[in-house]
Structure 1
């Protein structure tokens, strides 16, 4: 496999894409799109996002020390794109899309009613890196649409029609998994192992 070499660049793809709601000290709500986001710790549950200092949400989150990470669906792609290119300094994006807000449970910042999953977060720290500042956020509460829960209490993310971001383009995620966590090391039962062995022997004979 021949490969080309590029200078150091943020070429990690695909990435999650989310809508972050934040609130100013004067109770103004803003929404902006984040593609630089990642889980960095499970206990305590910490998520990291990169925000440019000039973004309005940078100031709002820094002031209020909280925000909500809303997971968007296929039907929300236009909202996701618009909130990524239009500044809250120029337009009220909540009003533009006539979006309904849902009151926070653990924080005062609201989530987007249209989003099936929303993570309420409090700010832990801000680290300047360069073009972006690193925000570490602790997840205090997660809102999940009841329609995504199965009879065993499992959250069926595959039913949420979530999307991702891949080098300037938005993609929908398939609902069919390629495998489950740990499947590569699970032992095959004897019957299936013998069946595979017999098939291999037949191929060798042919």
Structure 2
């Protein structure tokens, strides 16, 4: 197969849609959408998100050193997008969207009450990378709405209904159903 070069881009499929929750220096809850992030360690459980220095969330993260990551369902695509196009310096994003900031139990940071999954994180490390700073947080707790748990008690992605961001087209996409069992589908190729 012939591939065409499109040059260096922020291209990765899929980009998760993550909502970073922090409190500002005035104590007001704030949230921003981030697509540059993901799990970066299993022990300790940790997640990394990259934020530009110009963002209010950057200042909040540096000051407070605690944050949450809420994972929205497709039902909240408009609200999640708003968190990315409005600034916490100019707007109360929770009031504008009608969503509920809930103070974390393990960290001094708000998560979005209506979103089905929330991670509570304490800042472990920062890494400067070009115009972004990567914030690496230890996951101290994960909260999951009971309504999105499967019969086995584990989160069910089909019930969570997260969505992804396409950075090239600047569009959001939802997922289809299960494709195959991980750590099993490739066994027939193992020799």
Fold-level match, TM-score > 0.5? yes
Residue in structure 1 matched with residue 86 of structure 2 by the alignment? 86
Contact 2:149 / 2:159 at 8 angstroms: preserved in 1? no
Q: Distance in 1 between matches of 2:67 and 2:89?
A: 18
Q: Distance in 1 between matches of 2:157 and 2:102?
A: 21
Whichever structure has more helix as a proportion of its residues is 1
> How much does 1:46 deviate?
1.1
Q: Distance in 2 between matches of 1:183 and 1:140?
A: 30
Q: TM-score, normalised by structure 2?
A: 0.92
Residue in structure 1 matched with residue 158 of structure 2 by the alignment? 158
Q: 1:42-57 counterparts in 2 under 5 A?
A: 42-57=42-57
How many residues matched?
187
Q: Distance in 2 between matches of 1:12 and 1:161?
A: 20
Residue in structure 2 matched with residue 196 of structure 1 by the alignment? none
Residue in structure 2 matched with residue 169 of structure 1 by the alignment? 171
Residue in structure 1 matched with residue 185 of structure 2 by the alignment? 184
Give yes or no for the alignment of 1:149 onto 2:156.
no
CA deviation profile, 1:26-56 (whole Å, cap 9, x unmatched): 2111111000001111110111111000100
Gaps of 5+ in 2: none
Q: Distance in 1 between matches of 2:82 and 2:147?
A: 27
CA deviation profile, 1:157-191 (whole Å, cap 9, x unmatched): 221111111121101112x211011122446xxxx
Q: 1:83-162 counterparts in 2 under 5 A?
A: 83-162=83-162
Q: Distance in 2 between matches of 1:35 and 1:152?
A: 29
The DSSP-based 3-state class of the residue aligned with 1:184 is coil
Q: Distance in 2 between matches of 1:56 and 1:4?
A: 38
Structure whose CA Rg is larger: 1
> How much does 1:6 deviate?
2.5
Gaps of 5+ in 1: 188-206
Q: Distance in 2 between matches of 1:53 and 1:172?
A: 30
Q: Distance in 2 between matches of 1:166 and 1:153?
A: 31
Q: TM-score, normalised by structure 1?
A: 0.86
Q: Distance in 2 between matches of 1:75 and 1:69?
A: 17
After superposition, the CA RMSD in angstroms is 1.5
Give yes or no for the alignment of 1:24 onto 2:24.
yes
